[in-house]
């Protein structure tokens, strides 16, 4: 049987931790059970033939072990845990890594289960990132200003939902979405005009490409000066930031339909608008969606950064810059979490729409 | 001849149109202030005088192009490059952290890409998170990183460079994963029949094959590094750098200064991007790729 060096190392570490001091005040139930559970997990990894059941047992044991380790954190003296505890942490981490490795190498016959496994891998990775973050920050008592533990951030999110919602409304629902819609819409219309006039295409495209690489966020202070500090100025920044990626991508997309297909449309006697609607716009959709995806990130960044230059007393950018000044880092992380969630969800939403619209594209055909 | 007809003339025309529009907007946007002034003084102002006045306001709503050019000339050539009023000094502060962050980010991106290409576990578990990290407005963390690192006595170049690193590693990592996987299966099989080791496959096939991808993503990365460095300068209380110029300008209503800093940043970005393009051309020629 193939014995992974990771499992052997984890087994040895769990054994060593029994003789080393853990640095605990008393001996809580959690601290006693952690090595036992990890021993069991290592034994499963070492001696049970690799199978689905063994893998699930390993995963369950490792996570119970991690839960015990986190729970035990509060039982330590002010000096913090010592070597025995850290041996256990490393052992748990190695076993989790081993489990992820085994899960990654498995091939399932049913595509649904395979999809589930593919989803589980990044989720496990993320979960262990959080677990190790929590344990390291609290175990080494890193100052919370530098890096608050995830539990503290979660508590802060739970306790200040109304504030977060108001900020989200101001920055995302008002500024970012309005700017995104106007910027993408006008970029799209401009692209159709530019595409109609070859001279403009030759002249505007190199400049558009250049502007797409420029630090457009810098325009924020000017927009705040022109449109005031309410959400309109943030939307204006977003409009300018999203306009050029949309323009460049749409023009490229309109050129994407093949000459053969265009000739076919001509033999049908199709008018310009018929060709545009029935052939060239559908062919341009993958490019347009690419721009929509890029812009969804840019819109949020633009709206938040523009608030650094002046805003009413609500908004994600305002909250971030204010709470940083007051050293309430957990609140900043809470805002970042909201921003990350909003960014990922809108990206995911656009991807879903893209799938529905460009179902014919090779990358979605199975 | 074709080059001139197909790109120089159209681009020049569009640029000219932009400058003319800029002047037109400068007149329109700055005129209300002049009319207001005239009305307060109890005089009427002729159209010619009005237009002339809008070109030389102290704090215009939109400065005319020549005012911005004059400000750039003054702050670049008339003051010594070490002075705090020199645009060269501020530009250098931004440029140095951009370059440091860009170098670190590119290195990190390449290392991550190599690890991902060679480990199935990492590919399946880490890659989705790298993609997700793109959808997160990273720039929003920029001020926090700066202030927090300042609080633990890490100051100067490094915090700003870290933001640039964070922003620039992503395009490089994604591009390089694609690039390192770009060799065809036939070529990989050929290497295997030669009994090539993993390291040999990497250095003789994967690495050369990934070069076009590397340079394309480096162009994106250097542009975004500059943005990161500029935003990173905002929360430090406007000490030095292009971002500080922007913030100070917005505090004191110095629009000409803001526009000068913006143009300087734009110039810097285009120079950096074209430098990478030049490097790509050199490497391509060394590797025998025909342009």
Using the predicted structure, report yes or no on whether residue A342 has a pLDDT greater than 50.
Answer: yes
Res B107: pLDDT: 94
Give A264 or A9, the one with higher predicted confidence.
A264
- Residue spans per domain, chain A: 5-142, 159-357
Question: What is the C-alpha to C-alpha distance for residues B249 and B258, in angstroms, rounded to an integer?
Answer: 5
DSSP states of A14-39 as a string?
HHHHHHS---BSS--HHHHHHHHHHH
Q: How far apart are CA B24 and CA B35, in angstroms?
A: 17
Res. B105 pLDDT band, cuts 50 70 90 = very high
- What's the per-residue H, E or C state across B112-133? HHHHHHHCHHHHHHCHHHHHHH
What is the average per-residue pLDDT within B127-148?
Answer: 70
Q: Which of A279-283, B99-103, B120-124 has the lowest mean pLDDT?
A: B120-124
Pick from A25-34, B20-29, B122-131: least confident: A25-34
Which residue of chain B has the CA closest to A348? B135
Does an H or E element contain A78, and which? Answer: none
**Residue whose C-alpha is closest to residue B168's, from B262, B100, B119:** B100
**At the topology level of CATH, where does B87-286 sit?**
MetI-like fold (1.10.3720)
Assess whether pLDDT exceeds 90 at residue A53. no
* CB interface of A with B, residues 81-120, below 8 Å: 97, 100-101, 104-105, 118
Q: Which of A123, A203, A226, A341 best tests the B interface by mutation, with the highest count of B CBs <10 A?
A: A203
Check residue A183 and give its pLDDT.
92
Q: What does the DSSP assignment read for chain B?
A: -HHIIIIIHHHHHHHHHHHHHHHHHHHHHHHHHHHHHHHHHT----HHHHHHHHTT-SS-SS--HHHHHHHHHIIIIIS-TTSTT-HHHHHHHHHHHHHHHHHHHHHHHHHHHHHHHH-HHHHHHTHHHHHHHHHS-GGGGHHHHHHHHHHTT--THHHHHHHHHHHHHHHHHHHHHHHHT-S-HHHHHHHHHTT--HHHHIIIIIHHHHHHHHHHHHHHHHHHHHHHHHHHTTTTTS-SSHHHHHHHHHHHT-HHHHHHHHHHHHHHHHHHHHHHHHHHHHHHHHTT---
Give dist(CA A356, CA A282) in Å, integer.
12
Given a cut of 70, whether residue A331 has pLDDT beyond it is yes
How does DSSP classify residue A141?
T
Give the whole-angstrom CA distance, residue B213 versus residue B178: 7
Name the most confidently modeled range: A129-143, A236-250, B139-153, B252-266: A236-250
Q: pLDDT class for B110, splitting at 50, 70, 90?
A: very high
A-chain CB neighbours of B134 within 8 Å are 297
With CA atoms as reference, the chain A residue closest to B14 would be A203
Residue A309, SS3? Answer: coil
* CB-based contact A210 B270, cutoff 8 Å: yes
pLDDT on residue A1: 45
Phi, psi of A108 (to 5 degrees): -100, 150
Residue A29 has pLDDT above 80, yes or no: no
> For chain A, what percent of residues have pLDDT higher than 90?
5
What percent of chain B is modeled with pLDDT above 70? 91
> How far apart (Å, rounded) are the C-alpha atoms in residues B232 and B222?
15
Q: pLDDT by residue (tens digit) across A182-228?
A: 999 999 999 999 888 888 877 777 787 777 667 777 778 778 878 87
CA distances (Å), A171 to each of A165, A166, A342, B11, B212, in order? Answer: 10, 9, 11, 36, 38
Alpha carbon A297 to chain centroid, angstroms:
11
User: What are the structure tokens assigned to B148, written together?
Assistant: 């927090």
* Interhelix angle A220-227/B242-252, nearest 10 degrees: 10
Coil, helix or strand at residue A77: coil
User: For A50, which DSSP code?
Assistant: P
Provide the pLDDT for residue A25: 60
Task: Evaluate whether A239 touches A183 at the Cβ level (below 8 Å).
Answer: yes
The reply to whether B6 touches chain A by the CB within 8 Å rule is yes
| B93 contact A CB<8A | no
| pLDDT, position B273 | 85
pLDDT-derived band at B134, boundaries 50, 70, 90: low
More confident residue, B179 or B291: B179
Which residues neighbour B101 within 8 Å (Cβ) at sequence distance 6 or greater? B160, B161, B162, B163, B164, B165, B167, B168, B225, B228, B229
Tell me the domain boundaries of chain B: 2-62, 87-286
Both tokens of A248, joined, read: 């460049």
Q: Distance between alpha carbon B290 and the CA centroid of its chain, in Å?
A: 29
Report the phi/psi class of residue B67: left, alpha or beta, with left for phi > 0 and alpha for psi in -120 to 50: alpha
pLDDT at B104: 93
Between CA B167 and CA B172 the distance in angstroms is 10
> What is the pLDDT, as a whole number, of residue A170?
84
What mean pLDDT is predicted for residues B41-66? 76
Work out the pLDDT band at A3, boundaries 50, 70, 90: low
Q: In the CATH hierarchy, which fold is given to the domain comprising A159-357?
A: MetI-like fold (1.10.3720)
Q: Tell me the HSE value of B231 on the side-chain side, using a 13 A CA sphere.
A: 34
Query: Of chain B residues 229-248, which have a CB less than 8 A from chain A?
Result: 230-231, 234-235, 242-243, 246-247
Helices (H), A160-230: 161-168, 177-196, 198-212, 220-227
* Nearest-angstrom CA–CA distance, A314 and A321: 11
As a whole number of angstroms, the distance between CA A320 and CA A328 comes to 9
Q: Which two tokens stand for residue B42?
A: 């109890």
Please state the rounded mean pLDDT for residues B218-229.
Answer: 85
> Is the ipTM value over 0.85, yes or no?
no
**Token couple for B191:** 């290497």
Give yes or no for residue A364 having a pLDDT over 70.
no
Rounded Cα distance between B65 and A22, Å, is: 69
Per-residue confidence (pLDDT) for residue A194, from 0 to 100: 87
pLDDT, average across residues A117-140: 83
Q: Which residue has the higher pLDDT, B146 or A366?
A: B146
Spell out the residues 6+ positions from residue A47 whose beta carbon is closer than 8 angstroms to its own. Answer: none
Determine the 3-state secondary structure of A41 from DSSP.
helix
Phi and psi at residue A70, to the nearest 5°: -65, -45
Interface test with B, best of A105, A127, A220, A221 (most B CBs within 10 A): A221
Burial class (CB in 10 A: 0-12, 13-18, 19+), B185: exposed
**Cβ A73 vs Cβ A151: under 8 Å:** no
How close A47 gets to chain B, by Cα (Å)? 22
Distance from B38 to chain A by nearest Cα, in Å? 22
Q: Which chain B residue lies closest to A123 (C-alpha atoms)? A: B125
CB B101 within 8 A of CB B278: no
Residues B228-279: tens digit of each pLDDT: 888 777 765 557 788 888 877 777 777 888 888 888 888 888 888 889 889 9
User: 3-class DSSP state for residue A76?
Assistant: strand
Indicate the average pLDDT of chain B: 81
Q: Give the pLDDT of residue A188.
A: 93
* Percent of chain B at pLDDT exceeding 90: 7
Give the model's pLDDT for residue B23.
Answer: 84
CB < 8 Å from B in window 113-172 of A: 118, 121-122, 124-126, 143, 145-146
């Amino acid at each position: 049987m193939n014995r992974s060096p990771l499992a052997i190392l984890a087994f040895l570490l769990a054994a060593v931790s029994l003789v080393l001091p853990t640095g605990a005040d008393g001996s809580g139930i959690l601290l006693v059970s952690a090595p036992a559970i990890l021993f069991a997990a290592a034994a499963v990894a070492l001696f049970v033939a690799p199978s689905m059941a063994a893998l699930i047992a390993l995963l369950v044991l490792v996570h119970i072990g991690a839960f015990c380790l986190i729970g035990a954190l509060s039982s330590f003296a002010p000096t913090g845990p010592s070597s025995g505890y850290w041996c256990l942490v490393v052992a748990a981490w190695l076993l989790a890594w081993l489990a992820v490795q085994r899960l990654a190498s498995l091939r399932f016959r049913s595509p649904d289960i395979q999809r589930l496994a593919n989803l589980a891998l990044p989720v496990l990775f993320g979960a262990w990132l959080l677990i190790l973050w929590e344990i390291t920050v609290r175990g080494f008592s890193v100052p919370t200003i530098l890096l608050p533990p995830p539990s503290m951030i979660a508590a802060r999110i739970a306790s200040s939902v109304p504030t977060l919602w108001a900020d989200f409304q101001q920055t995302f629902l008002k500024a970012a979405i309005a700017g995104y819609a106007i910027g993408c819409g006008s970029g799209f219309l401009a692209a159709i005009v530019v595409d109609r006039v070859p001279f403009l295409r030759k002249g505007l495209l190199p400049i558009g490409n250049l502007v797409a690489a420029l630090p457009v966020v810098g325009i924020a202070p000017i927009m705040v000066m022109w449109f005031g500090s309410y959400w309109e100025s943030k939307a204006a920044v977003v409009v300018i930031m999203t306009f050029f990626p949309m323009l460049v991508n749409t023009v490229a997309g309109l050129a994407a339909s093949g000459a053969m297909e265009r000739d076919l449309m001509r033999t049908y006697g199709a008018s310009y608008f018929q060709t545009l609607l029935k052939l060239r716009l559908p062919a341009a959709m993958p490019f347009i969606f690419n721009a929509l995806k890029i812009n969804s990130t840019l819109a949020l960044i633009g709206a938040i950064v523009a608030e650094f230059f002046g805003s009413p007393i609500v908004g994600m950018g305002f909250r971030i810059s204010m709470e940083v000044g007051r050293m309430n880092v957990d609140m900043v992380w809470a805002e970042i979490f909201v921003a990350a969630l909003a960014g990922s969800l809108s990206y995911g939403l656009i991807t879903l729409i893209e799938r529905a619209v460009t179902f014919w594209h090779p990358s979605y055909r199975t | 001849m074709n080059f001139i007809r197909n790109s120089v003339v159209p681009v020049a025309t569009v640029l000219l149109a932009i400058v003319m529009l800029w002047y037109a907007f400068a007149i329109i946007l700055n005129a209300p202030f002049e009319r207001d002034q005239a009305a307060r003084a109890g005089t009427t102002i002729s159209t010619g005088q009005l237009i002339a006045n809008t070109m030389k306001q102290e704090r215009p709503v939109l400065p005319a192009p020549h005012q911005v050019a004059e400000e750039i000339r003054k702050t670049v050539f008339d003051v010594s490059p070490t002075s705090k009023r020199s645009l060269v000094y501020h530009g250098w502060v931004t440029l140095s952290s951009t370059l440091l962050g860009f170098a670190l980010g590119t290195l990190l991106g390449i290392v991550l890409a190599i690890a991902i290409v060679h480990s199935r576990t990492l590919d399946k578990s880490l890659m989705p998170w790298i993609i997700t990290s793109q959808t997160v407005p990273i720039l929003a963390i920029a001020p926090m990183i700066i202030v927090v690192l300042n609080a633990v006595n890490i100051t100067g170049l490094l915090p700003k460079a870290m933001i640039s690193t964070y922003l620039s590693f992503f395009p490089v990592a994604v591009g390089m994963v694609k690039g390192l996987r770009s060799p065809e299966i036939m070529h990989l099989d050929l290497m295997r029949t030669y009994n090539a080791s993993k390291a040999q496959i990497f250095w003789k096939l994967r690495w050369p094959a990934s070069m076009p991808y590397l340079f394309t993503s480096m162009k994106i990365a250097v542009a975004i590094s500059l943005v990161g460095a500029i935003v990173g300068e905002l929360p430090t209380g406007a000490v030095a750098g292009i971002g500080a110029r922007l913030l100070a300008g917005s505090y004191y209503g110095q629009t000409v200064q803001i526009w000068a800093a913006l143009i300087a940043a734009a110039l810097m970005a285009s120079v950096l991007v074209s430098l990478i393009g030049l490097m790509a051309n050199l490497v391509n020629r060394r590797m025998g790729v025909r342009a």
